[in-house]
Amino acid sequence: MKILIAYSSKTGNTRKLAEALHLALPNADLCPMGSVPNLEQYDMVFAGFWVEAGNACQDAIKCLKRLGGKPVALFATLGAYPDSRHAADSLAAAAKEIPNGKVVDSFICQGAIDPNMIEWMEKLPKEDENAPDDSRRQLWKDAATHPDDNDLQAVSDWAVAALEKQQALV
Ligand SMILES: Cc1cc2nc3c(=O)[nH]c(=O)nc-3n(C[C@H](O)[C@H](O)[C@H](O)COP(=O)(O)O)c2cc1C
């Protein structure tokens, strides 16, 4: 089974997951979503993105739209907690971008938020809906150490299980 691991990462969090996946699935091809080769040759795609405004980031959406009909395993990082409604909704929104999508499984974990974005949000007026409060600042603090070694182990284990799940279907 020929496998592609394609990912989009602005500040490196999702790239770390993609690289851990590649160690777990060494025969897979690894590439950034901006330079995905001919997809015809692949039997399964692990598609990784960072969450942007509650969906996959923009260049990941472009790539997801090309994955129609293929078995896809989604992996992602986001600032919010991985067991939050927002995390589940973001994965669901990304899955919907794949025409006739066949999502085999999905994985999501926290990823440190760009300090420039934190600085920008700290400057927002108090009445702005994105202005931080104590719980938001705690979230940023919790996100800052992710993805950590546990996340990388978890995404590797998940990838092996997702591949086995797909292989059992064919
Ligand atoms: C412009 C922008 C929008 C973001 N939107 C969200 C969001 O809607 N929800 C969320 O939980 N995190 C959001 N984040 C946080 C990123 O998803 C998170 O930090 C991610 O791990 C970045 O991954 P990367 O290092 O691979 O680029 C956003 C970050 C940026 C820069």
Q: How far apart are the first and last CA of the chain?
A: 10
Q: Which CATH number among 3.40.50.920, 3.40.50.360, 3.40.228.10, 3.40.50.2300 corresponds to the domain 3-111+146-169?
A: 3.40.50.360
Residue 130 has pLDDT above 90, yes or no: no
DSSP 67-102: -TTSEEEEEEEESS-TTSHHHHHHHHHHHHTSTT-E
Residue with the smallest CA separation from ligand 1 atom 15 is 79
> Which pLDDT belongs to residue 118?
96
Listed by start position, the domains of the chain span 3-111+146-169, 114-145
**Binding pocket residue ranges, ligand 1, CB within 6 Å:** 9-14, 50-54, 77-80, 86, 111-114, 117
* Distance separating alpha carbons of residues 80 and 71, to the nearest angstrom: 27
The separation between CA 49 and the C-alpha centre of its own chain, rounded to angstroms, equals 4
Residue with the smallest CA separation from ligand 1 atom 1 is 52
Give residue-wise pLDDT tens across range 40-58: 999 999 999 999 999 999 9
Mutation choice for ligand 1 from 7, 19, 52, CB with most ligand atoms inside 8 A: 52
Residue with the smallest CA separation from ligand 1 atom 8 is 53
